[in-house]
Chain A
């Protein structure tokens, strides 16, 4: 059952990603992006990362994408529908660059068929002991508590920076 579901989510994610690149209007692009994010949340669930799947839906598809939507509507984009894909030599060059990246990735992944390692069992044990949220939380609030606090400072700086940048007269 799980592999079938995985391939379904993978197809949905790839289709959505192609839609993001190819859609004519920014709103369409954004809705394809929400599809991709939802499908990726599905793959997170299949990889036993339940808390991250919930966060992916709530924070990414819910908050960040709505922020994008606000800005698209605020700037009134998407009415001109002019084709903004770069054509000609540049597109060919982009195909080349992405093809090289894809080739390297395929070479890396093709040589080593990776099987379920020791990490999977340890995560399953953590989830059984602490629950899906507790498994991340115990590690996050003990070993990684300093980076977690620095994250708070980063968010504060981002709030102040966004306000200063978007202010009417700078």
Chain B
């Protein structure tokens, strides 16, 4: 069960990475980052079956940080949307050569 959970975690992480790389919509990139965080959570839970309860406590902290990150990130997306009227990341090219 642990090996299967780690494989599932790896697959979800890779799908999340691919999503961040290929989508242009900032909201969906953000969702894919959440997917990556969740994949890591799954491997923490799987490793807690090997090394004790600390893995689950780490997941607790990761979830808290993810909640804070979602709040601040969405606020940044809203304030960017006010300036550009879009969330397409290709439009945000002020610092790009």
The answer to whether B60 has its CB under 8 Å from any CB of chain A is yes
Bitwise, A2-32 to B at CB < 8 A (1) or not (0) is: 1100110010011001101101001001100
**Is the CB–CB distance between B72 and A151 below 8 Å?**
no
Q: Which of B29-50 contact A (CB under 8 A)?
A: 30-32, 34-35, 38, 41-42, 45-50
Contact partners of B41 in chain A: CB under 8 A: 40, 52, 56
Cβ 8 A contact of A154, one of B13, B55, B68: B68
A residues in contact with B57, CB < 8 Å: 136, 139-140, 144
Q: A6-B4, A43-B5, A119-B51 are in contact. Are A64 and B10 (CB under 8 A)?
A: no
Interface residues of A in 128-165 (CB under 8 A from B): 135-136, 139-140, 144, 147, 151, 154-155, 157-159, 161-163, 165
Interfacial chain A residues near B74, Cβ < 8 Å = 67-68, 71, 162
By DSSP majority rule, is chain A's interface helix, strand, loop, or mixed? helix
Question: Interface residues of A, CB < 8 Å — how many?
Answer: 83
What chain B residues lie within 8 Å of A33 (beta carbons)?
31, 34-35
Closest Cβ of chain A: how far from B36's Cβ, in Å?
Answer: 10
**B77 CB contacts on chain A under 8 angstroms:** 71, 75
Residue of B nearest to A85 (CB): B22
- A139–B3 Cα distance when bound, in Å, is 26
Task: Using CB atoms, name the residue of chain B closest to A17.
Answer: B15
Give A61 Cβ to nearest chain B Cβ, in Å. 11
Q: Which residue of A lies closest to B54 (CB)?
A: A139
Say yes or no: B17 contacts A97, CB within 8 Å.
Answer: yes
Q: Is B21 an interface residue (CB 8 A)?
A: yes
* Closest beta carbon of chain A to B33's beta carbon, Å: 11
Q: What is the CB-to-nearest-CB distance from B66 to chain A, in angstroms, rounded to a whole number?
A: 7
Residues of A within 8 A of B51 (CB): 117, 119
In angstroms, Cα B28 to Cα A68, docked, is 10
Bound-state Cα–Cα, A118 to B52, Å: 7
Please list 22 pairs of residues, one from A and one from B, whose beta carbons are closer than 8 Å in the complex, sorted by A's number: A6-B1, A14-B12, A17-B11, A17-B35, A29-B31, A30-B31, A36-B38, A43-B45, A47-B46, A60-B34, A67-B71, A75-B78, A77-B25, A84-B23, A98-B18, A116-B49, A123-B52, A126-B53, A136-B57, A157-B68, A161-B72, A170-B79
